[in-house]
Structure 1
Amino acid sequence: MPQPSLPVIAVTVGEPAGIGPEIAIRAAWQLRHEVRSVLIGDTAYLSMLAAEIDPAISMMGVSLQALRHQGLPASGNERLTIIDCPLNAFVIAGQLDPRNGRAVLQTLDVAIESVQRKWCEAVVTAPLQKSTINDAGVAFSGHTEYFAEKTYTGRVVMMLASEANDHLPQALRVALATTHLPLRQVADAIQFDDLWKTLEIIHTDLRSKFGIENPRILVAGLNPHAGENGYLGMEEIEVITPVIKKAQEAGMQVSGPYPADTLFQQKYLEQADCILAMYHDQGLPVLKHASFGLGVNITLGLPLIRTSVDHGTALDLAAKGTGYADVSSMLVAMRVAADMVNKQEK
């Protein structure tokens, strides 16, 4: 009986001077019997690094030109495939070099193309350094914004998730109504149309990419005590509650707004497939504490599956050499992407 095919995941290796290349290689090799990982980066550099990590790691490089003519070659479970995106300067671990900025950006373009051409089924991104790309002369604000722009997506939603662990009885997903805004701008950004669109995206993607038929979404209030009937703010009355009512009228299982200081209790979490927090530091500190390094960043609303680690480039660890970086978040990001591939609507 033929074995089922493995999910094929494009993995961008991120900032070459950081820990991204190492954790991408280590995770891809560790999961090679669960996921076919296609690394996107400089073949020569990744091969050299792999030999340092574990001489048993086997790799094969393929050019983008060859891919466009022949598609993704077969590799088996004992060899990792690399789509070659050559760097422009020698890598010194821990030291940023803007000469490599455009090559890092190319890995994102290739990842998007790999899904659009159906070479791969999802994308996992290792951390990159925004400053390297900006210093290379390209305005760049982050992975999420870049993927949205390149796929012509008008609005995306940032969601972080954690698998169940010793401290967390079930998976936890926290989506954000606003992301990287100064706190004084958050209240003005909570608008009816934007919040409604965010809920629509969460509901749609939980159904289509996670296989949850009727997702349960719990919404946090913006203000202390969810506004306390207007005494501590009017956003709940004027915006958040009307959006929740509209969602309910549309047949969605959405409830709230709940005071954020009591929402993250087990009695609520066990009823939720996703929590919608109003701003970055309302929801993410809870998740990152509960996940203990096993969190994963997921971009909702894109016409492709994209997950990422929930940490940065860790240049200081990379400068020490291989073996210091924790691969846990990358492993979870790849497993979540693979699970989403298996559950998404075909």
Structure 2
Amino acid sequence: MKYNLFKFLKLLVFTVFFWSFASTLFIVIRFFAYGEEQGATYVNPKNIIPITEWLDFGLILGIIIGVFYAIVEFSFEKYISQKLNLAVSIGLKLIIYLTILIISLSFITLIAEDRMDIDLNNEQGWWRTDPLFWLSTAYFLLTSLVFSFIRIANDKLGSGVFIKMLLGKYRKPQEEKRILMFLDLKDSTAIAEKLGHKHYSQFIQDCFFDLNTILRRYDAEVYQYVGDEAVISWRYKKGVKNNNCIDLFYAFQNALLKRSKYYQKSYGLNPLFKAGLHGGQLMVAEVGTIKKEIAYHGDVINTTSRIQSECNTYNENLLISNGLLDTIDLKSKYKSRTLGEIQLKGKQEIIEISAIQVV
């Protein structure tokens, strides 16, 4: 509940800021493009209204749209989008947004008439033939596409990474300290043979959908999906904080458990995952030209993968390097058990690992 509230408030702040900026920008463009008459029929033609007064109403309009936009986007993302196909979802949102725009503009024009002593077109059904409304609608739709693009890019690349790519931060490799988790499905070969490739693909899709519902709660980012494996990433401090990198694994287990009836009914089994955790310095770089991605390079990746592969050897669900464990203030609900040392494949390096279990 607290996470959902935080998620909504975060979206609300972003939408209000975005639409306030977009609305004031529209007022500026409209003001200088149309001249001092500003498209209005004045009660007093000599009353020239400065742009600052129009900007006040642009800001109010932006806040109103931003609030409703956040409510609609959050509601669809949380409760509706998964139940409808994409075309129906987009069409339904478009109808809602047009209704909001009509109501918002009608409200703003009523206030503007009273405050500025001008005559604006706001009679019942005014929007059907008003060219300014359809101009505003076109601007709203274009701006919505920009908003959606930013959100999709942010979700695809990770929080804050899109802006860094725009600024060209990763064109030259950058060193960062990160925690990685290699999360892999147990008995994947047997499950794939049982379900067949089509149902197996749907099965993995469902599992990763459940994973994505909890990622932001623990400040986690998805680095990549590889078949039935997901690679999760944290900035080192965020991953260590409040045991986020450990809590995520068990929260994912609980999310799958809560939907056990669904998995049993749909696939005849319950998914189980194993994971390896490790952290350290790695290089982050922008790679590719036709398809650009953010890539991680360094021993941290190979080491984490090797740790995860040891889960079967020790019959454990979650293994962690002792180097990372030593930097974590382990919560009382967890206990660690040292398993000894492993040698990394193809290297002379020895690393000590431990198993993490719930008390």
- TM score, norm. by length of structure 1: 0.26
Relative contact order, CA 8 A, sep 6+: which one is greater? 1
- Of the two, which has the highest radius of gyration? 2
Q: When you count helix as a share of all residues, which structure comes out higher?
A: 2
